[in-house]
Structure formats: C-alpha cells, structure tokens
C-alpha cells in the first residue's frame, strides 16, 4: 500500500522541530495520540520521550524512518496520556491553571 503524503505524520516518521533558525530537535514518532495534532515521540538529540503538538515549525524529514520503533509506555492506560500531556509539552502554550 502506497502512503499518501497529504495525510498527517505517522508512526516511525522522522520529524524536525524548529525552536528558532539555529535551534531544533530530531524526533521519531512512537505513537500517534491525536492524528494531525499530538504525537508521542523519541527525541534523538536528548534521548528522551516527549509529547509533541503539531505546529507550523514541525516538519517531516524522513517518512518511515523507523516504523518498528517501540514505545516505552503501555498506551492502554489512560492516565499515562494525561501524565505526559501535563509534563512534557513542546510546541503548545502552557495552560493558565498549570
């Protein structure tokens, strides 16, 4: 099956997130949390997992970079999603009540 490049990012894609013209992160999607909006990624630069929200500064570098990447979490537990949503934010403004 051929991939449609008009669709949002998928598991295994290598992304680049630009903080500025000189600062950026390389991220591999481990789990799609909300298609086109939120992803659980492995940060190749810092070697940590992060919650990443889709923004205009998030770009696809290499499709299907590592489609077999394994998550460090069991996404069947709903509290895990809430924990990461609160603690590891990149590309989304902080909530006023946090």
The span from the CA of 10 to the CA of 36, in Å, is 9
- Cα 71 from Cα 49, distance rounded (Å): 9
Question: pLDDT digit string (tens) for 73-94?
Answer: 776 666 666 666 665 555 555 5
Give the model confidence (pLDDT) of 14-53 as tens digits: 999 998 989 999 999 998 888 888 898 999 999 998 888 8
Count the residues in the chain. 98
- Give Cα 61 distance to the centre of its chain: 13
**97 pLDDT band (50/70/90 cuts)?**
very low
Contact by Cβ (8 Å): 29, 17 = no
Contact 72, 38 (CB under 8 A): no
pTM summary value: 0.73
């Amino acid at each position: 099956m051929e991939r449609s490049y008009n669709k949002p990012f998928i598991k295994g894609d290598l992304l680049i997130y630009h903080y500025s013209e000189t600062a950026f992160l390389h991220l591999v999607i481990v789990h799609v949390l909300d298609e086109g909006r939120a992803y659980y990624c492995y940060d190749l630069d810092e070697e940590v997992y992060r919650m990443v929200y889709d923004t205009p500064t998030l770009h696809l570098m290499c499709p299907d970079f590592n489609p077999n990447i394994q998550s460090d979490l069991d996404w069947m537990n709903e509290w895990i999603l809430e924990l990461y949503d609160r603690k590891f934010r990149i590309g989304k403004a902080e909530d006023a009540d946090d």
